[in-house]
Amino acid sequence: MKITDINLTVVGVPRHTGFINKHIIVKVSSNEGLVGIGEMSDFSHLPRYAPDVEDLKNVLKSVLVGENPFDIMKLNKELAGNFPEAMYYYEKGSFIRNGIDAALHDLCAKYLGISVADMLGGRIREKIKVCYPIFRMRFMEEVEENVEVVRKRLNQGFDVFRLYVGKNLDADEAFLDAVKREFGNQVKIKSLDFSHLLDWKTALKAVKRLTKYDLGLEMIESPAHANDHEGFHHIRMRTDYPISEHVWSTRQQYEMIKHDSVDIFNVSPVFIGGLTAAKRAAAAAEVAGKSVILGTTQELSIGTAAMAHLGAALVNLTYTSDPTGPELYIGDVVKNRVQYKDGYLHIPERGITGLGIELDEELIETYRVDDLRWGEVSVHQLQDRTAQTKI
């Protein structure tokens, strides 16, 4: 089998908040008549730059056309040469590699007549416990808005939530207090996610302030500046809660292991550059005696399905994970969206080949946009992906 063409389509899908996220839908065509699909997810995030899509398509064609899609390791090496790993969170080259790697897996699994999970090691589980995100609050009036999100999502089966914190600790504390008073033990707050906003000493003070509510907290996420491995270690030694951090390069993961700075590696294909790299990161975590969770940048169904297949076989996936992206959008670009039930992401059925997701060309046309331009949005909107325009 040979790759014959690469197609990239930019779509802009609104969230329920009104913010429009832009993604690139990938098609990798073959001489066997099969097409693999992938998703370069969520270019609508800092840093505030994006590739020219036509130029990107031509580069990818020069790298991939004529190659055997089963040579996934070789092709990943070529992609890494053109879009290198960087010691930076939300590096756009990782998004690009991720979309292509997922499409290669989808194409090869379709050719073999198996699911992507079976290419990655089979299935330990058929569903993955996930949490719904509560986005960062800057104003006290957002507290009740987010309590209403908990009410709504609890009725839909989500009983675990992840709280972004660090911009307004008074609002963060008021939200936790309101959740505890109204819901008691009905819901859990999986994590307090600082997103590298604070230095470790300031984050430690915030942790002490916000963890007095007994809401089933599983971990503290990113409670120091990015790549401050010593800071992560310091806060880890000073709190009883496990510390989690994203993996975005092999070197960065090595440094985290060397400094013993985390308990849980947050592994997401979009941040580390694909299923191949994510599986390697999970294996490195296992060797180091660490757990993993599946992270997210709030993907659509294609990207989320890829993560579900990855999570099917991870032996050290022992905490609640994050992929609930499709639930944040008013629509999608597929005929069969990934399924959530009782707070679990269900892995696509084994009998469906590839990722188990079928594109809907009409929906792609509905959400198609010309390019990845940013429009009139603020830094706050790009950080937290809300439609709010308050300064």
Tell whether 157 and 302 lie within a shared domain: yes
Residue at 40 is within a domain: yes
351 lies in some domain: no
C-alpha distances (whole Å) from 213 to each of 158, 181, 188, 320, 340 are 20, 10, 11, 19, 28
Q: What is the pTM of this model?
A: 0.96
Residues in binding site for substrate:
15, 89, 296, 385
| Domain assignment present for 139 | yes
- Domain of 264, in residue numbers: 118-346
Residue 135's CATH number:
3.20.20.120
CA gap 170, 79 in Å, rounded: 45
Q: Do 301 and 220 lie in a common domain?
A: yes
The Cα 264–Cα 320 span in angstroms is 11
Residue from 49, 88, 90, 319 carrying the catalytic annotation: 90
Claim to verify: residue 148 and residue 260 sit in the same structural domain: yes
For residue 112, give both structure tokens: 């073999």
81 shares its domain with 29: yes
Per-residue pLDDT of the chain (391 residues; tens, 9 = 90+): 999 999 999 999 999 988 899 999 999 999 999 999 999 999 998 888 889 999 999 999 999 999 999 999 999 999 999 999 988 888 999 999 999 999 999 999 999 999 999 999 999 999 999 999 999 999 999 999 999 999 999 999 999 999 999 999 999 999 999 999 999 999 999 999 999 999 999 999 999 999 999 899 999 999 999 999 999 999 999 999 999 999 999 999 999 999 999 999 999 999 999 999 999 999 999 999 999 999 999 999 999 999 999 999 999 999 999 999 999 999 999 999 999 999 999 999 999 999 999 999 999 999 999 999 887 777 877 777 665 544 4
Question: Domain containing 67 — which CATH number?
Answer: 3.30.390.10
Tell me the binding residues. 15, 42, 45, 89, 193, 221, 246, 296-297, 385
Give yes or no: residues 203 and 81 share one domain: no
- 101 and 218 in one domain? no
Both 65 and 163 in one domain: the answer is no
Instruction: State the pLDDT at residue 18.
Output: 87
What per-residue confidence (pLDDT) applies to 386? 60
Classify residue 353: in a domain, yes or no: no
- Domain membership flag for residue 144: yes
3-state helix, strand, coil split of the chain in percent (to 5) is 40, 20, 40
Is 90 an active-site residue? yes
d(CA 339, CA 326): 9
Q: What is the pLDDT of residue 385?
A: 61
165 lies in a domain?
Answer: yes
- Do 30 and 140 lie in one domain? The reply is no
Please report whether residue 355 resides in a domain: no
The answer as to whether 251 is a domain residue is: yes
The answer to whether residues 189 and 329 belong to one domain is yes
Whether 304 contacts 270, CB under 8 Å? no
Q: Is 132 a catalytic residue?
A: no
Options 164, 241, 340, 367, the catalytic residue: 164
Residues 222 and 329 in one domain: yes
Residue 78 shares a structural domain with residue 224: no
Question: What are the φ/ψ torsions at residue 128 (nearest 5 degrees)?
Answer: -130, 125
Instruction: Give the chain's end-to-end CA distance (angstroms, integer).
Output: 53
The pLDDT of residue 391: 42
Q: Dump the DSSP string for 38-80.
A: EEE---SSSSS----HHHHHHHHHHHHTTS-TT-HHHHHHHHH
pLDDT of residue 292: 99
**C-alpha–C-alpha distance, residues 332 and 329, integer Å:** 7
Does residue 206 sit in the same domain as residue 138?
Answer: yes
User: Quick one: which of 338, 337, 349 has its CA closest to 294?
Assistant: 338
**Residues annotated as binding site for Mg(2+)?**
42, 45, 193, 221, 246, 297
Number of domains the chain is built from: 2
